Amino acid sequence: MSTIAIVGGHGQIARLLIPQLVADGHVPLALVRNPAQVKELEELGARVRILDIEADDAEAFAKAFDGAHAVVFAAGGGPDGNIERKKTVDLGGSLTSIEGAKIAGIHRFVQISAINVDDPLPEDTDPVWRAYVEAKRDADVALRESGLDWTIIRPGRLTDDPGTGKVALGPDVPRGDVPRADVAAVVARVIDSGDGIGRQWNLVSGDTPVAEATAA
């Protein structure tokens, strides 16, 4: 039984991930800013600790990670139009999580990013979208260079459709849609199996069962 710390523990993907980790025999440790979210997450099967992803430092992250065997970075600033939060959450939160994991002696780190963020952006790109893409891109670069046992999952356009359990996964998979439930399933699988260390994969809906896709 492993304890899995989830940064952004009340996010939509995190709330789908928690029951899957429980089903796999793990202990999800949801890290959230808002104490009002504790009861809901505990009912899903998570332990909960309070962490302010934008205000707390790496030492506080390391303390929050205490006892964990792996970290999942599932946080995002959201579609609020706030450019600064893309920097403080999507990038800053990832950088502090990486540093906190190192301090805590945790090697396994899975990051949920976004598809094709390494591609150049057109000059007329919306400033908020540019900030989001650049934050995800720079966070991925930092994780790849961290020396941790990293996996980066880069989903396409997220939907709330029911999960199918079948995906297309790989470094060059073209853009498409994917249910959040299938993103959670892929994250749960790489945590449980150890698949994907040192790999960065695009993720969209497809025809390959999740376990087969991550193993390949």
**Catalytic-residue membership of 132:** yes
Catalytic residue among 132, 143, 152, 179: 132
Rounded to whole angstroms, how far apart are CA atoms 14 and 152?
A: 15
Rounded to whole angstroms, how far apart are CA atoms 34 and 141?
A: 29
Indicate which residues carry an active-site annotation: 132
